[in-house]
Amino acid sequence: MQGFARRHTVQAALTWLDAQVTRLDAEDVPLRAAGGRVLSSPITSAIDIPGFDRATMDGYAVIAQSTEGATPYNRIPLNVVGDALPGAPFLRQLAPGEAVRIMTGAPMPDGSDAVLPAEFVEACRDGSSTSAEATVDRLDPPTLDQPCGVLALSTVSPGKNVGRRGEDIVAGTTVLEAGRLLRPQDLGVMSSIGLGTARCIRHPRVRLVITGNELLPSGSAPHGFHITDANGPMLAALAERDGAIVDFPGLVRDEADAVLAALQADADIVIVSGGSSVGIEDLAPMLVARHGELAVHGIAMRPSSPTGFGRIGNRLIFLLPGNPVSALCAYDFFAGRAIRGLGGRPAQWPYRAVRARLARKISSPIGRVDYARVRLEDGHVEPLSIAGASVLSSTTRADGFVIVGDDSEGFPAGAEVEVWLYA
């Protein structure tokens, strides 16, 4: 056993990593399954939405001039000549003095230019209810066998209550840009322009390799000198959050053949947790170096200093420490960044950041990046820990973390710092 010959800076490690990450190929995904996927190319509409002028209210399609001067005391008769329903338009030209009963979303009849809302119309049953003294009953719209039609009680202007062709989307408009994380409303827009599939970047395939002969599978009660795997469920959830399809068939024994077989899995990324340092049972770094490229091993950060990564064939290999907080920190800094990049998502942390003042100081040596778990209490930042890489519960007590750069000795009490929130 011997220590690390050198430790890479976080920035040098990220520089190597970013040069390896290129967006994966695309695939067609049914809209029903495309929510949360990343669009690989822009979406341009070939059609106008809506594709016709349509009513935006229930009422009567009219020629606006036919209602000029109408008030409750000067009711203007209109002859109802038909109906227009969604998907069932009125098929002849409208003439002055005529009206077509129309429902919201129905096509506007030719010649009409406005919709008189139903509440501004009164039924005319006998043709006599036109005097200023008549009561405004606001009856339901008449049926077509009522020859007197309706009385307009209000004037409408041209274009009133009419949705114009293309007012939502004009043909030739780019409605969604490449790289967009598709939301439910995006799928609705795509469907409205006639698309049934979305061209999306393929999900990165991630193989989790959790090693340690002392580990028991998740769901087992720890006993004797055995502990239950915490990293597998945690890392699987993190990778799936970042858009990966995770393969985690079970724990891997600390045996060279078993670890090598897992490192050579059919995947875009292999994440190893445990056996990543320089001990006699730390097999993964040796196997990566022997069968591929171990580009980084040992990073000037705390926790997670034993982190390493490289390649075997086309697979990116990440060697994360077995200590749970170290594994979480290394995932945040490196593996998650690669997964998001391959899947077309922003490389930056998917955490919300806030600024607040420290209740107590955070100390750190020059030359090392520190990942300090913190709580927010009464608007102030309360540091929990920088050390304690095996104390996973510190992350559940924490609201987030503060990063101390390698050019800083930390922050004094009262300093305003950026807090990255876990949720």
CA gap 416, 174 in Å, rounded = 42
SS3 content of the chain, % helix, strand, coil (to 5): 20, 30, 50
Per-position b or e across 218-239, b if 16+ CB within 10 A of its CB: beeeeeeeeeebbbbebbbebb
Contacts of 162 (CB under 8 A, 6+ apart): 53, 54, 55, 56, 108, 113, 114, 115
Q: Quick one: which of 304, 361, 391, 315 has its CA closest to 13?
A: 304
What average pLDDT is seen over the chain? 90
Q: Quick one: which of 148, 181, 155 has its CA closest to 71?
A: 155
| β-bridge pairing 174-176 and 43-44 | antiparallel
Give me the amino acid identity at 159.
G
247-278 pLDDT, tens digit each: 999 999 989 999 999 999 999 999 999 876 65
For helices 283-291 and 256-263, give the axis angle rounded to 10 degrees.
60
Contact 264, 290 (CB under 8 A): no
End-to-end CA distance of the chain: 40
pLDDT of residue 222: 87
- Count of Cβ atoms closer than 10 Å to residue 389 Cβ: 23
What does the CA dihedral 297, 300, 301, 304 come to, rounded to 10 degrees? 20
Query: What does each C-alpha distance from 227 to 77, 119, 136, 224, 323 come to in angstroms?
Result: 86, 73, 81, 8, 12
Q: Quick one: which of 388, 376, 385, 367 has its CA closest to 417?
A: 376
Query: What does each C-alpha distance from 332 to 67, 94, 235, 298, 371 come to in angstroms?
Result: 67, 66, 10, 16, 10
Question: Helices (H) and strands (E) in the chain — how many of each?
Answer: 8, 28
Structure token pair of residue 200: 């999306």
Q: Quick one: which of 354, 318, 143 has its CA closest to 238?
A: 318
Residue 87: left (phi > 0), alpha (psi -120 to 50), or beta? Answer: left
- Which single residue is written with the structure tokens 């469907």? 191
pLDDT of residue 134: 35
CA gap 106, 101 in Å, rounded = 10
Helix (H, G, I), strand (E, B) or coil at 373: strand
CA gap 397, 374 in Å, rounded = 8
CA gap 209, 309 in Å, rounded = 14
Q: Tens place of pLDDT for every residue, the chain, 423 residues?
A: 455 667 899 999 999 999 999 999 999 999 999 999 999 999 999 999 999 999 999 999 999 999 999 999 999 999 999 999 999 999 999 999 999 999 999 999 999 999 999 999 998 765 444 333 333 333 344 343 444 589 999 999 999 999 999 999 999 999 999 999 999 999 999 999 999 999 999 999 999 999 988 889 888 888 888 989 999 999 999 999 999 999 999 999 989 999 999 999 999 999 999 876 655 667 899 999 999 999 999 999 999 999 999 999 999 999 999 888 899 999 999 999 999 999 999 999 999 999 999 999 999 999 999 999 999 998 899 998 655 544 566 667 889 999 999 999 999 999 999 999 998
User: Where do the domains of the chain lie, and which CATH numbers do they carry?
Assistant: 10-24+203-342 (3.40.980.10), 26-50+167-201 (3.90.105.10), 54-163 (2.170.190.11), 352-421 (2.40.340.10)
Consecutive H or E run containing 173: none
Consecutive H or E run containing 241: helix 231-241
Strand ranges for 75-229 from DSSP E: 76-84, 98-102, 114-117, 121-123, 150-152, 162-163, 174-176, 197-201, 205-210, 215-216, 227-228
Query: What does each C-alpha distance from 4 to 17, 96, 300 come to in angstroms?
Result: 20, 91, 11
Query: pTM here?
Result: 0.83
